[in-house]
Chains A and B, each alone.
Chain A
Amino acid sequence: MSGIADIVWLTLRLAGVTTIILLLVATPLAWWLARSRFWWSEVVGALVALPIVLPPTVLGFYLLIALGPHSILMAPLQALGVRTLAFTFTGLVIGSVIYSLPFAVQPLRNAFQAMGDRPLEAAATLRAGPWDAFLTVAVPLARPGFVVAAVLAFAHTVGEFGVVLMIGGGIPGETEVLSIEIYRLVEALEWGQAHLIAGCLLAFAFAVVLSLLLLDRRTGRPRP
């Protein structure tokens, strides 16, 4: 068992890395979902949203198999000497990215949809190519969406338990995060410590939700 500081650090590192990767993955995905006119893009949309309704243990179970030593997905990595990603930090990051994907994609998709075609058409008539227009018009206009996506992805990763338990296993310094530690402390009847961590996570969660609501109030005001 490692000290509480290590566990907090690992948790923050996991949430931070996950958030950065999520924003990189979710942005093009949300952009495509927002602008695609194919009906089957909703199939992709449904796949992305699946972690919201799926029990985390089910997702964790499949990830455990997919990242385990007998998985065909692991074959190329095994050639490079990596036998398994289950019970590793990298495995946790992959699991967290998939688990929190809908929470990053949805706000971004909404933001991209809300702006409509007009700003991009205006940019095009002002000599901005598609990439230029995306970076200098679409992204700045979607900034509130990016903030919400980042906050939700970070907070949701801090709070995840089921997926982490299935594919992480709570190895100190590698996969032992706060939510797992509370579970372990309660099992060991160390109520004082459990109270402390639970209280901190409660305050953190409240701060996140409150800041989101305040943000929404600030950016969601009606335009004159």
Chain B
Amino acid sequence: MIEACFKGRLGDFSLDVELSTPASGVTVLFGPSGSGKTTLLRCLAGLARLEGRLTVTGEIWQEGRLFLAPHRRRIGYVFQDAALFEHLNVRGNLLYGRRRAGLGEDAEFDRVVGLLGLAPLLFRGVAKLSGGERQRVAIGRALLSDPRLLLMDEPLASLDAARKAEVAPYVERLSREARIPIFYVTHDITEAARLGDRMLMMRDGCIVDTIELKTQAPDAVEQDWLVRRLAQVGADELAAEFVLSGAAPTVARLAVEALNHRVNGGRD
């Protein structure tokens, strides 16, 4: 289990969450921008510090005055902007965390390089990569540091539609094949529905709902189901807010659909 509880202010933003999820599969943090998704992710990583506690598969990472620094937590973190090291080539980036985890270019290294299609890029300079390639390297770098928990902060958000289509299959494959729990931040409902096993809906620094995705919805009707579910849980207020906050078009569209569904009195 991953159990966390954070409460406090960072600048003019406040977070108040409590969560408990199985230590497997993909947990999507979903909500409009400014709802606290990234802040929660940073608290899990130890990059931000708020009052609270955090245990990951029985290991205490934060409790009271105990606070494990990020470099002592076995995490992988994929930043929205990739954050590759510009002074190293692709191989150097991939091995940065791996060497520090006491590992090297072993079979697992080759497996991840293959999984993400990085073999032709290994000796290329980071400056010569496309946006999609950068993000794939960033995902590989995080995976190769042998993490117990993978944290991904909107890894596709900074990419245009074509690049997104290029990277998305890798992420999907990763979400199916990874043997570690993944927390995945997004404000794209399609992404959330395709990748997530469960979804934590966030608003104003709180988790307003938890939705199990994979256990209840077959692939084909996932989206339709999600729309109904959004309405069913009375999330129309939230949905309206998505529209107002200028979230991604898919979210807005789905939100409007959800709203209609509710107004028309539809219930499962």
| A interface residues with partner B (beta carbon < 8 Å) | 118-119, 121-130, 132-133, 136-137, 140-141, 143, 223-224
In chain B, positions 93-125 with a C-beta closer than 8 Å to chain A are 96-97, 100-101
Residue among A123, A124, A224 with most chain B CB within 10 A? A124
Contact digits for B64-90, partner A, Cβ 8 Å, 1 yes 0 no: 000001110001110101011111000
Q: Give Cα distance in the complex from A72 to B236, angstroms.
A: 75
Q: Give Cα distance in the complex from A78 to B228, angstroms.
A: 86
- Tell whether, in the assembled complex, residue B81 and residue A118 are in contact, meaning their CB atoms are under 8 Å apart: yes
- Does B1 sit at the interface, judged by CB under 8 A? no
- Tell whether, in the assembled complex, residue B76 and residue A128 are in contact, meaning their CB atoms are under 8 Å apart: no
Q: A118-B81, A143-B87, A223-B127 are in contact. Are A124 and B47 (CB under 8 A)?
A: yes
Q: Give Cα distance in the complex from A197 to B87, angstroms.
A: 41
A16 to chain B, nearest CB (A): 27
Closest to A140 in B: B87
Q: A121-B47, A122-B77 are in contact. Are A127 and B87 (CB under 8 A)?
A: no
Question: How large, as a class, is the contact surface on chain B?
Answer: 20 to 34
Q: A125-B45, A125-B75, A129-B71 are in contact. Are A118 and B83 (CB under 8 A)?
A: yes
Determine which of B46, B69, B83, B127 lies in contact with A122 in the assembled complex, contact meaning CB atoms within 8 Å. Answer: B83
- Does B145 sit at the interface, judged by CB under 8 A? yes
Q: A123-B96, A223-B127, A224-B127 are in contact. Are A128 and B71 (CB under 8 A)?
A: yes
- Tell whether, in the assembled complex, residue B127 and residue A125 are in contact, meaning their CB atoms are under 8 Å apart: no
- Does B142 sit at the interface, judged by CB under 8 A? yes
Q: Give Cα distance in the complex from A125 to B97, angstroms.
A: 8
Q: A118-B81, A223-B127 are in contact. Are A125 and B87 (CB under 8 A)?
A: no
Add 18 more A-B contacts to A125-B71, A127-B100 (CB < 8 A): A118-B79, A118-B83, A119-B85, A121-B77, A121-B79, A121-B83, A122-B85, A123-B71, A123-B85, A123-B96, A124-B69, A125-B45, A125-B47, A126-B97, A127-B101, A132-B100, A141-B86, A224-B127
Q: Give Cα distance in the complex from A123 to B71, angstroms.
A: 8
- Tell whether, in the assembled complex, residue B145 and residue A127 are in contact, meaning their CB atoms are under 8 Å apart: yes
Q: Give Cα distance in the complex from A129 to B85, angstroms.
A: 16
Q: A127-B71, A128-B100 are in contact. Are A122 and B87 (CB under 8 A)?
A: no
Determine which of B47, B86, B100, B127 lies in contact with A126 in the assembled complex, contact meaning CB atoms within 8 Å. Answer: B100
